[in-house]
Chain A
Amino acid sequence: MTTEVPSSSSTERYRAVQQSEEFQQLRSKLRRFIFPMTVAFFLWYALYVLLSAYARDFMGVKIVGNINVALLFGLLQFASTFLIAWYYSRYAAQKLDPLADDIRAKLDRGDVDGTDKHDADGSAE
């Protein structure tokens, strides 16, 4: 019940959409955001873990009262997580969702290759 073998025509259709300028634009806008962002937050987090393991003196430096660098660094991880989540949702709503809606609408309507030069040009940055 889950295995749907596509007819060759639907395979060609998806191939055509995948190659279309509009889809390539969506794909690259998505990947240009999520991959670098993933690398960035992972490195930022890794820095925190590495400092916890190997820079104990630095992490133990007191900033205000009993609040030290380790606690501040941890709280900054919270802040960066909230910030990245918010930034992604804004980016996706502005740059990705309109493109995805457009392509899906064409696919649902049955336009064979899902491309439309005018739209693709019009929605370019």
Chain B
Amino acid sequence: MEPHFLAAEATASGSRGLTITLFLIFVAITLAITIWASRQTKTATDFYAGGRQFSGFQNGMAIGGDYMSAASFLGIAGIIALYGYDGFLYSIGFLVAWLVALLLVAEFLRNSGRYTMADVLAFRMRQRPVRTAASISTITVSIFYLIAQMVGAGALVSLLLGIKPGTTFLGMDAGTAKVATIILVGALMIVYVVVGGMKGTTYVQIVKAVMLMTGALLMTILVLAHYKFNLSNLLGDAAAQSGKGAAFLEPGLRYGVEKAGDASATFYSKMDLLSLGIALVLGTAGLPHILTRFYTVPTSRVARKSVLWAIGIIGVFYLFTLALGFGAAALVGGKAITAQDKAGNTAAPQLAQALGIDYFGGSTGGSILLAVIAAVAFATILAVVAGLTLASSSSLAHDFYANVIKRGAASERDEVRVARISALVIGAVAITLSIFAQSLNVAFLVALAFAVAASANLPAIVYSLFWGKFNTSGAVWSIYGGLVVAVGLVFFSPVVSGSATAMFPEHDWHWFPLSNPGIISIPLGFLFGWIGTVISKEDDTDKYAELEVRSLTGHGAH
């Protein structure tokens, strides 16, 4: 047992009251904003797009708040803390991905769409098949992502409330408390979305971005100060504490692992790394909750500005993850982290506690800093799940209900009412599924969401915007093709069955050797889009002229 870990156990229950108080303050503030926002929400544009009145900086912050998820804060810090350098791969992929959004998607989407991703896809095509497909893939991606966030919340709670095996809190043991947390987070996100719509959700995301950046900056400074701002010493200490030496600072402990004497295992392991890398970089621009953020600003120029702000904010945050992850490896230690959470999701809050003990007067200081960072982590999760719930319920209401079922004849009021009901249903589904997926690392779950987004959504969006011949058949082929291949390969991968860490460890129906499907499913998504297009005689080039002129000039933008 390392000394920090013993101290951690002693203070965890001491910080309980403070964590709960800080979290309740955040909830009270965000609920007040949500109620205020609900009074400003009158039209469908208010509900779906926050009235399109946000500035580039505000939306840049909100994008950061929407994007820097539990996977980024808890997941990446955890992977770096346990496996060293490999966690940094996530940070890099998640950041570079923003260039796809900046160069190929954000401005054109803003110019030619209205509320959802499908507005752009269906612009020049037959509405019902394309919107149905887009709605299904939007909801699938969002649910994957929602599960990741809620599992993260559940993993946190037993640490944050200091519930040790055999002890209880309010009559709940650790397992019950996890489930209760997932339900609480789910209920709050439903309230934010149903009551506050896009306006409320955006402000929740902005508040969260400020909190997360402040918290991460504080911890980064404390970690670096511990090593007299010598990064090399921090890395050296992390490597020494890990017991893996220099290998801890090099790629290969978690991804692309080389198994001596087993060439095929090594080959697949490296393929898995490439697959993950591709999925991370191509997924962002296909995430529905990110795409809908571009509609909340008045023009495509402001959309561009907001992406630039987002790249700055997100980039700086991912630099912080290096200090958080290696700091946790050095100051908390892998053994103490895995004792709390096998997947490493609690490394960042455990680091906060260790730093508090070091800097702010022993166990009281540890409790305070743990409580602050725990509240930040819950705020992080809430802001992201609200964004996801909003994006998927918008698609269900605007794409499926208004344009597929009602064929475009639904009244605005009716549509918004359905969107609110959808948020309730999607929230309930996400809560239920999350309860069954609690043992998976959240960064990994998010990587799956990225793979599906990159395989099903990105090909359709890029073809729609830049390829005149693309048509209904191509759009439907690329979305369903990419979606079915990506989800299917995951289903038959070692993530779902046939390995100790699988969702169903006692069963084995896996035959696909990789845990990330991207390297197969993303090229296939593009290929399906092309095949679907060339086998159909439908010609949308007249409508494409309008789409192209509007998307490049902003003429007629909503």
Q: Which residues of A contact B (CB under 8 A)?
A: 1-3, 6, 10-11, 14-15, 17-18, 23, 26-27, 30-31, 33-34, 37-38, 41-42, 45-46, 48-50, 52-54, 56, 59-60, 62, 64-68, 70-71, 74, 77-78, 81-82, 84-86, 88-89, 92, 97, 100-101, 103-104, 107-108
Contact = CB atoms under 8 A, between A and B. Distances in A.
22 contacts: A2-B402, A6-B543, A17-B545, A18-B545, A38-B103, A42-B281, A45-B281, A52-B89, A53-B274, A59-B250, A62-B246, A65-B232, A66-B232, A68-B250, A89-B304, A100-B552, A100-B553, A101-B553, A103-B555, A104-B553, A104-B555, A107-B556
Contacts of B246: 60, 62, 66, 68
A11 B308 contact: no
Contacts of B85: 70-71
Given A49-B89, A52-B277, A85-B308, 11 more contacts: A1-B408, A2-B114, A27-B548, A37-B99, A37-B103, A52-B273, A60-B250, A66-B233, A70-B251, A71-B235, A81-B95
A27 B278 CA distance: 28
B260 to A, nearest CB: 13
Contact of B319 (A14, A78, A104): A78
Interface in B521-543: 542-543
Nearest to A107: B555
Contacts of A67: 231-232, 235
B308 A10 contact: no
A112 B201 CA distance: 42
A88 B410 CA distance: 40
B17 interface: no
A14 B549 contact: yes
Contacts of B91: 74
- The 9 A-B pairs with the shortest beta carbon distances in the complex, nearest first, are A65-B232, A49-B277, A52-B251, A66-B235, A14-B546, A18-B545, A104-B553, A60-B250, A14-B545
Given A14-B545, A27-B548, A100-B553, A85 B231 contact: no
Nearest to A42: B281
Contact of B252 (A15, A56, A88): A56
Contact of B249 (A26, A50, A71, A101): A71
A15 B546 CA distance: 7
A71 B235 CA distance: 10
B469 interface: no
B546 A11 contact: yes
Interface in B384-423: 398, 402-403, 408-410, 412
B251 A56 contact: yes
The DSSP consensus for interface residues of chain A is: helix
A3 B408 contact: yes
Contacts of A1: 402, 408-410, 412
Contacts of A85: 98-99, 102, 307-308, 311
Interface residues of B, number: 69
B513 to A, nearest CB: 15
B239 A66 contact: yes
B246, B250, B315, B408, most chain A CB atoms within 10 A:
B250
A26 B553 contact: yes
Contacts of A81: 95-96, 98-99, 311, 315
Nearest to B544: A18
Interface string B84-127: 01001101110110111011100000000010000100100001
Nearest to A34: B103
Contact of A77 (B96, B231, B233, B247): B96
Contacts of A71: 85, 88, 235, 249
Contacts of B548: 18, 27
A82 B99 contact: no
Contacts of A66: 232-233, 235-236, 239, 246, 249
Contact of B545 (A15, A42, A74, A89): A15
Nearest to B236: A66
B232 A3 contact: no
B243 interface: no
B554 interface: yes
Nearest to B116: A2
Contacts of A41: 96, 99
Interface in B168-187: none
A50 B274 contact: yes
A17 B554 CA distance: 13
Contact of A78 (B92, B256, B408): B92
B164 interface: no
B480 interface: no
Contacts of B96: 41, 45, 77, 81
A64 to B, nearest CB: 7
